[in-house]
Amino acid sequence: MGKAIHTHQMIHDGDHLLVAVSGGKDSLSLLWLLRERIKRIPIHYRITAVHVDPGFGTDSAAQMTTFFSAHGFDYRVLKTQIGPQAHGPDNRENPCFLCSRLRRKLLFELAGEMGCNRIAFGHHKDDIIETFFLNVCYSASISTMLPVQEFFGGEITGIRPLYLIDEDLIRRYASAMGWEQIKLGCPSAGASKREEIRQMLQGLYRSNRKIKGNIFHALQNVNPDYLL
């Protein structure tokens, strides 16, 4: 994570980070490690953890409030109905896209309200690769998520400090920390297009352990002269 932050100059002295925390292993690890890092570096930045309860009935807002309070994090928790809205009868084809879009909109609005100039997301190496294949297969686009991405003319910057890290390492870290994963109750969990892509990739990885690294490096070694 330190290498990713340093290479892309993701965080500067005096920054105020909104850390998007879903309650899963990735975002919990990101939140914890970003705070631990402050003790070891010569700059200081502020962290505010933000959880958006999508409204599926599991009351993740209460669970995350307990976690943030117990561990001394500054936080904001938003209770919404964006999950049921995204899974409504008029949006059965792609509920995940709308849910993500509505959640991101809330985070941007809250970042502006709190004066946060950066939003930290818990996406890791596997997310970067999966997003590439999702975009190729379902959006006819050769693209993926960026380590650093400016929004609104640079007013807010999105950062992904875990983008160099394999999901399995994060899973083992979260397990060692003893965190109980917060369930959001999403009806699309485990049955999304992303899950289909993930299963396809896992089959490739099992056939040759070099494939995952090759795909990730290919995303940084694009030759436009050989693209249509």
Structure confidence at residue 91 (pLDDT):
67
Residue 83 has what pLDDT? 87
Question: For the domain bounded by 2-220, which CATH number is listed?
Answer: 3.40.50.620
* Domain limits, the chain: 2-220
Per-residue confidence (pLDDT) for residue 193, from 0 to 100: 87
pLDDT in tens, 69-104: 999 999 999 999 998 888 887 766 677 888 888 999
Taking phi first (over 0 means left), then psi (-120 to 50 degrees means alpha), and beta for anything else, what does residue 75 get? Answer: beta
